[in-house]
Chains A and B, each alone.
Chain A
Amino acid sequence: MGAGHHHQLYLPGVSVVHRLPPQCKLLAVLAFAIVVVATPRERFSAFAAYAVLLAAVAVAARVPAAHIVRRMAIEIPFVLFAFLIPVIGLGERTTVLGLSLSVPGLWAAWNILAKATLGVVASILLAATTEPRVILVGAQRLRLPSLLVQIAMFMLRYMDVIVDEMRRMRVARESRGFEARDVRHIPVLARSAGALFIRSYERGERVHLAMLSRGYTGEMPIIHDISASVRQWGTALALPAAALAIWGLPW
């Protein structure tokens, strides 16, 4: 409790992008990512054009640039890795700012950076315009394996409950004078983690009973029948279609 009423990634709104059915947006992002990944790394202008496309979507969805930049932090580990490649890479070398770098390494780093960034921004836009639970409804509509969708749904629902339980266990430890300071305290924390696992497992069993009591048969019933019109599919798929057109241009 106490947390905001929306997940951090989601920006409530009523833009064209917000109103598109989730399955259209999911498929559009996936197709866009495939086109981006399939683009040869030498085509700098194609990547620039893809970035312009995403900027256009952000404007249409009224997602501020600051929101996107902040969420891009998730990419940092990949960026660090990408920066390492030219340093440790083999083959022909070149000197940049007094640093000897591998040329194939530089290409590989650029390849990772450009494609990952475009993919991440596209995902951020999806998450900013679609509530997490609605994304899962979309996944259900796209006939993703029902078991995976259900697992994701329960994670979404019980994350806060489990975090809360974790917090209570920490309070209980600390109120009896325990404070994790060094490695010798790891066994205590490990036992707490074990207890948390068992509690969650037991909760899982009780939830399953509750589901059975209301007629659960293994499949999630369709509650939101969000069907997409041809026009909505057209709007959503405009993004990957434009990317594909850029990809197909003679360079």
Chain B
Amino acid sequence: MGSTVVNSLEVRQLAYAYPDGTQALFGVDLSIARGERVALLGPNGAGKTTLVMHLNGILTAGHGTVTVAGTPVAKDTLKEVRQRVGLVFQDPDDQLFMPTVRDDVAFGPANAGVRGDELDRVVKDALERVGMLEFADRPPHHLSFGQRRRVAVATVLAMAPEILVLDEPSSNLDPAARRELAEILRSLDVTVLMVTHDLPYALELCERALILSGGVIAADGPTRELLADTDLLARHRLELPYGFAIPAG
């Protein structure tokens, strides 16, 4: 990892137990350099969502640290951190809570104090990047699922984040919507952490992958290599879909 440039994300020895005592993370270490697209793989219950909740301070670390572009996540830096970490939730209906697409994309920047023409410009730009500008005045519930997910990405892009964190971005998408989202994600010039168990999608979009299993990072390397290691995948309840083979290259 680059040492002169500040990493987009640094997680050191992160451990967390839920209030009921269930330990979810047991010391997670990872770093993501600026501009990287990294997949975070893991079976259900591995602690993926818990880890994501730490990245913008919704949950606070029981032990260890999270640093976003050099800023440690702490109570007094929450506002700054939340602007830098763009979280895209799994269910777009949770993410899109405003009456229209335009208002929803404007929500983040407006909270940061952006107003008037500047706000319009930011919203227009974010919607253009996901190809949803023509739907700006629609209420979110009149959009298709794939369109809603793209708007959800736009709501976060409007905040010009340092790193985009996507929770299961391909879930519930039909094949065409899945491909369209991949094209959009590839076109963005931003650091991406993609949490998923859609392994082909991870291979398609991310050079590097991490496997989170049992609350620790169990593997970290090029996606192609990790996915070619059948034993490794099997140990962590991961497997490639039927008929899928890692293309040579």
Collect the chain A residues with CB atoms within 8 Å of residue B82's CB.
Answer: 212-215
Residue-wise, chain A 207-242 has the 8 Å CB interface mask toward B (1 for contact) of 101111111110001111100000000000000000
- Checking B91, B95, B99, B155 against A156 with a beta-carbon cut-off of 8 angstroms, the contacting residue is B99
Is A5 located at the chain interface by the 8 A CB criterion?
yes
Let me know if B97 and A223 touch, CB within 8 A. Answer: no
Q: Per-position contact with B for A1-12: 1 when CB-CB < 8 Å, else 0?
A: 100010000000
| Interfacial residues of chain B within 62-85, with CB under 8 A of chain A in the complex | 79, 82-83, 85
**B residues less than 8 Å from A216 (CB atoms):** 107, 111
Task: Kindly state whether residue B30 has any CB partner on chain A within 8 Å.
Answer: no
- Report the Cα distance A146→B97, complex, angstroms: 16
| A223 to B111 alpha-carbon distance, docked (Å) | 9
B100: A residues at CB distance < 8 A: 133
The one of A1, A210, A217 in contact with B95, judged by C-beta atoms closer than 8 angstroms, is: A210
Do A207 and B87 touch (CB < 8 A)?
no
Q: Given known contacts A207-B94, A214-B107, A223-B107, is B112 in contact with A157 (CB within 8 Å)?
A: no
A222 — which chain B residues lie within 8 A by C-beta? 110, 115
Contact: A157 with B140, CB < 8 Å? yes
- Contact among A211, A217, A225 with B115 in the assembled complex (CB-CB below 8 Å): A225
A160 sits at the interface (CB 8 A)? yes
* Pair A221/B97 contact, Cβ less than 8 Å: no
**A206-B94, A211-B97 as given contacts; A161 in contact with B83, CB under 8 Å:** no
Chain B: which residue is nearest A221 at the CB level?
B110
B16: interface (CB < 8 Å): no
Q: In the assembly, what is the distance between CA of A141 and CA of B138, in Å? A: 22
Contact A203 B94 (CB under 8 A): yes
Whether a CB of chain A sits under 8 angstroms from the CB of B24 is: no
Secondary structure of the B contact surface, majority rule: helix
Within the complex, what minimum Cβ distance (angstroms) separates A4 from chain B?
A: 9
- Distance between A181 CB and nearest chain B CB, rounded to angstroms: 32
Check A215–B142 contact: CB distance below 8 A. no
Q: Tell me the minimal C-beta distance from A229 to chain B in angstroms.
A: 17
Which B84-119 residues have a C-beta within 8 angstroms of A? 85, 87, 89, 91, 93-95, 97-100, 103, 106-108, 110-112, 115-116, 119
> Of A132, A203, A214, which contacts B155 at CB under 8 A?
A214
Residues in chain B near residue A214, CB distance under 8 A: 82, 107-108, 111, 155-156, 159
In the complex, what distance in Å separates the CA atom of A127 from the CA atom of B71? Answer: 48
**Taking the complex as formed, is B58 at the interface, i.e. its CB lies under 8 A from any CB of chain A?**
yes
Q: Do A210 and B94 touch (CB < 8 A)?
A: yes
Nearest 7 Cβ contacts at the A-B interface: A221-B110, A215-B111, A133-B99, A214-B108, A206-B94, A213-B87, A160-B141
**Additional 13 contacts, C-beta under 8 A, given A160-B141, A215-B112:** A132-B99, A153-B98, A203-B94, A206-B89, A206-B91, A206-B94, A207-B94, A210-B94, A212-B58, A212-B82, A213-B85, A221-B106, A222-B115
- Give me 12 A-to-B residue pairs in the complex whose CB atoms sit less than 8 angstroms apart, sorted by A's number: A5-B138, A154-B97, A156-B99, A157-B139, A207-B94, A207-B97, A210-B87, A210-B95, A210-B97, A211-B97, A214-B155, A215-B111
